[in-house]
Chains A and B, each alone.
Chain A
Amino acid sequence: PKGELEQVGETGESGEYNVYSTFQSHEPDFDYLKSLEIEEKINKIRWLSQQNAAHFLLSTNDKTIKLWKVSERDKQPEGYNLKDEEGRMKDISTVTSLQVPVLRPTDLMVEVRPRRVFSNGHTYHVNSISVNSDGETYLSADDLRINMWHLGITDRSFNIVDIKPANMEELTEVITAAEFHPHHCHLFVYSSSKGTLRLCDMRASALCDKHTKLFEEPEDPGSRSFFSEIVSSVSDVKFSHNGRYLLTRDYLTAKVWDLHMEKGPVETYQVHDYLRTKLCSLYENDCIFDKFECVWNSSDSVIMTGAYNSFFRMFDRETGRGVTLEAWRETSKPRAVLRTRRIYTGGKRRRGDVGVDSLDFTKKILHMAWHPEENIIAIASTNNLYIFQDRVSPDTHGPDLGSNTI
């Protein structure tokens, strides 16, 4: 979440990861009309499906989305007739024979070039981007609107959702995340600050303000507090790979929803319920506004999300059990096996248990990714990227993971 994007490189035999490429995606900008500074901070990155040797990705800050092409070059033509090694023009009189330039292998060079810049599409802060399964379009969502773009066209976008009230005084909720369905290019979902999900079908109308389905869980009146609204705001929404479920994250829980059942989630996982009594302090220090992401594994049998103190949580959907793991340099040597951690919330205290009051709230795991096919996960914490992979069986899931730190 700085202006830079880092890409993780290939592993060698030892399974070590190295930085592949680093580039500055966005620069700080200034909106002169509103006298507002636009941060260069990247809010979201999404890869496109690979079509050829190059990789494409979309990155966005608060206002502008950019399409980047990442390509490798490991060969270089040599032996030009008119230019010398440094590219300077040769004196023709010195050329006595002709040669055919040949491609010679060189050190790997990674080139990252901006291919498109999609600007001026959003009045509010962009929080999500999602590439459509058609490979041609993508959506971008800000607090009040969702736009659909064509990857090749930068001067136009379609507005597909607009929840801005005519009278801003009547505003009660904002859009917090949005994603296209993995298979159906006409379906997308967006989440709101009220904890609701709306599934929209673009075939129904040009402007999808009316949802096709509304997913909402009635509030539990017993748990009402000053901060009920904040903790129910959805910070991330992800379709399962099979397209049948939705995974959402709010401040304290992760929920799995069945697309066919709107009245409530089918599974609810407590990520760090011990924080429920600490909401006032977390409100004071702004931690309650942290936006955690959540991810599915490749087979949709495990979900994962981050927490504080460099902890992250994995939940096995079949058993319903959760495990706490730690992404922390001190305890993770390369190829070390991750061990599970526990938060002490009462009862018998075991060695290694961490007390709630000793949690470090500055070490938060907000961003993470699970390899689309294998059991390799990437966890981002403050200044480090951790990559864990399942050594025992790359195709199964489980907490027995080896680690790599970058």
Chain B
Amino acid sequence: MEYKVEAHRIMSISLGKIYNSRVQRGGIKLHKNLLVSLVLRSARQVYLRDYYGGICLSAQQAREWCEGEYMDSEQDRLVPGSTESLPESDGQSEVAVDKQEPSIVVESHAALDVESEARGEQDHAENGVLDSGCSELKTPESPEASPTCEVSNVVTTISSNCISGPPPSNPKQATETPNDCQTDSESVEENSHEPIVPHTCTNRKRSADDSELTDSLPKRTKVMSPTLISKNDEKKAETEEMDTSNVSSLITIFGSSFSGLLSSEDGAQPDSEAEDSDSGQICCDQMLKNLNPWSTAIVAF
């Protein structure tokens, strides 16, 4: 348990560093951000391992997380990066990043929110959308919350939420802020006896880089969203699906000029920056787990 607390703390510290690196003089340092993202990944792995009571992450999943969404937003505009995550998102039903065990469907918003909190950005449109799905969670409203505070809020709210039953899954909400969540894949069967909430309100967000790249990618995501939603509907209480968190909000945090990244069913497409700023939408602890550490670092580039 101590490991989990420690890992959590390290994750929040790392996020704070990534946030601060954006405003430091001289531009974002690639080397330091790379190292911080590695720490973030290690901490997340430990955190998740601990959380799931020792259920091992499959190597494939771990690898896929690490496959990282480094984006050089300054040097190379967008790289068609999250091609990995997109295909993964495609096969939502079988999903599990590696198409193996079904995994808990997790909203990626927590992670995103943490990051957005770290950045102190707000997007009210996002807020509205996401709120509906994660109603049980109290989310801090102040965008100025420090990353650490935010994280602790997340933890508290998540814990409470996780004890409760499956959250009301809101397909609409899931689509509005499409976010590819990626979690450890856990077998439903194994966890069924545990009070782990199979969150099915998945949010899918296209990676900032994806969206920026071409229109085809956004369309792709849009196409996938309905699929995702429908599958979510089907699998609500039982299914654990793994979403791929392509580019978590961290990427969007850094990818400054991406707009209209989010494809949603109803066409609502808040800015990518907006989705990050969605403070308060932290739905569950698992979102933190969905943080893709890779996305954090290279973002700025």
Contacts and interface: CB of A to CB of B under 8 A. Distances in A.
Given A229-B35, A230-B35, A289-B35, A169 B27 contact: no
Interface string B65-86: 0011111101110011110000
B39 A168 contact: no
Interface in B172-215: 209
In terms of DSSP, what is the predominant structure of the interface of chain A? loop
A39 B26 CA distance: 5
Contacts of A62: 26-27
Contact of A169 (B38, B39, B46, B69): B69
Interface string A132-166: 00000000000110000000000000000000011
A37 interface: yes
Question: Is the interface on chain B under 10, 10 to 19, 20 to 34, or 35 or more residues?
Answer: 35 or more
Contacts of B35: 193, 229-230, 233, 289
A303 to B, nearest CB: 24
Interface residues of A, number: 38
A227 B46 CA distance: 13
A125 interface: yes
B79 A168 contact: yes
A330 B67 CA distance: 51
A325 B43 CA distance: 36
B7, B34, B42, B70 — most chain A CB neighbours (10 Å): B34
Contacts of A193: 31, 34-35
A8 interface: no
A227 B36 CA distance: 9
B31 A143 contact: yes
Given A39-B25, A280-B10, A169 B74 contact: no
Interface in B130-159: none
Contacts of B74: 34, 36
Nearest to B80: A167
B26, B31, B32, B39 — most chain A CB neighbours (10 Å): B31
Given A168-B79, A229-B35, A41 B26 contact: yes
B76 A170 contact: no
A283 B81 contact: no
A168 B209 CA distance: 10
Contacts of B10: 226, 280, 283
B39 A226 contact: yes
Contacts of A280: 6, 10
In terms of DSSP, what is the predominant structure of the interface of chain B? helix
B13 interface: yes
B30 A143 contact: yes
Contacts, number: 99
B34 A169 contact: no
Contacts of A165: 70
Contacts of B17: 286
Nearest to A62: B26
B29 interface: yes
A226 B42 contact: yes
A168 B26 contact: no
B296 to A, nearest CB: 11
Given A168-B72, A169-B81, A280-B6, A125 B39 contact: no
B32 A289 contact: yes
Interface string B39-70: 10011001000000000000000000001111
B294 A169 contact: yes
B114 interface: no
B106 interface: no
A306 to B, nearest CB: 19
Given A125-B29, A229-B35, A280-B6, A168 B43 contact: no
Nearest to A144: B30
B111 interface: no
B79 A167 contact: yes
Interface string A92-134: 0000000000000000000000000000000111010000000
A16 to B, nearest CB: 36
A168 B76 contact: yes
A13 interface: no
Nearest to B7: A226
A286 B35 CA distance: 11
Instruction: Give 7 closest A-B pairs by Cβ, nearest first.
Output: A39-B26, A168-B70, A169-B69, A36-B27, A168-B72, A169-B81, A229-B38
12 contacts: A34-B74, A37-B26, A39-B26, A167-B81, A168-B298, A169-B67, A169-B294, A170-B68, A171-B34, A174-B34, A193-B35, A226-B42
Interface of B: 6-7, 10, 13, 17, 25-27, 29-32, 34-35, 38-39, 42-43, 46, 67-72, 74-76, 79-82, 209, 294-295, 298, 301
Given A174-B34, A226-B46, 15 more contacts: A31-B27, A36-B27, A36-B74, A38-B27, A41-B26, A125-B26, A127-B31, A169-B82, A170-B67, A174-B31, A193-B31, A229-B35, A233-B31, A280-B10, A283-B13
